[in-house]
């Protein structure tokens, strides 16, 4: 998707404060954090939202969710963290490229 900001981040065309990358997934700090630690995990594949996911995306969703505790621990969120997926306009989604919010405090 040439006009998708998260596709551009995934491709390295727009800079981000990256904390993780592999062949399928990128994680980076949110540009407008709502907590002392706030990062996003996205698939490199353009999927507009959770509402657009089907059985073919289950493995990818599992990979993303499986990374949450590892990355949260690396960010020092030892007491726990919050996760969220805003879906659709009614769900408060602003960027229509699937992403998982992880936010909270260090310690």
Q: Segment contacting ligand 5GP (CB under 6 A): 19-27, 52-60, 61-69, 91-99? A: 91-99
The pair of structure tokens assigned to 80 is 């726990």
Strands (DSSP E) found in 1-85 = 18-21, 25-29, 37-43, 82-84
Q: If contact means CB under 5 to 8 A according to the sort of partner, which of ligand 5GP, Zn ion, none does residue 97 touch?
A: Zn ion
C-alpha span between 95 and 7 (Å, rounded): 11
Catalytic residue among 38, 97, 99, 101: 99
* Residue showing tokens 């700090």: 29
Q: If contact means CB under 5 to 8 A according to the sort of partner, which of Zn ion, ligand 5GP, none does residue 15 touch?
A: none
Binding site for Zn ion (CB under 5 A): 1, 4, 6-7, 46, 97
């Amino acid at each position: 998707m040439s006009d998708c900001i998260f596709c551009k981040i995934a491709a390295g065309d727009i800079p981000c404060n990256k904390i993780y990358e592999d062949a399928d997934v990128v994680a980076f700090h949110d540009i407008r954090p709502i907590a002392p630690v706030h990062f996003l995990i996205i698939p490199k594949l353009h999927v507009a939202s959770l509402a657009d996911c089907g059985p073919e995306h289950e493995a990818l969703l599992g990979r993303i969710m499986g990374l949450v505790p590892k990355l949260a621990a690396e960010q020092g969120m030892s007491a726990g963290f919050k996760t969220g997926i805003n879906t659709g306009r009614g769900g408060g989604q602003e960027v229509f490229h699937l992403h998982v919010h992880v936010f909270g405090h260090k310690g």
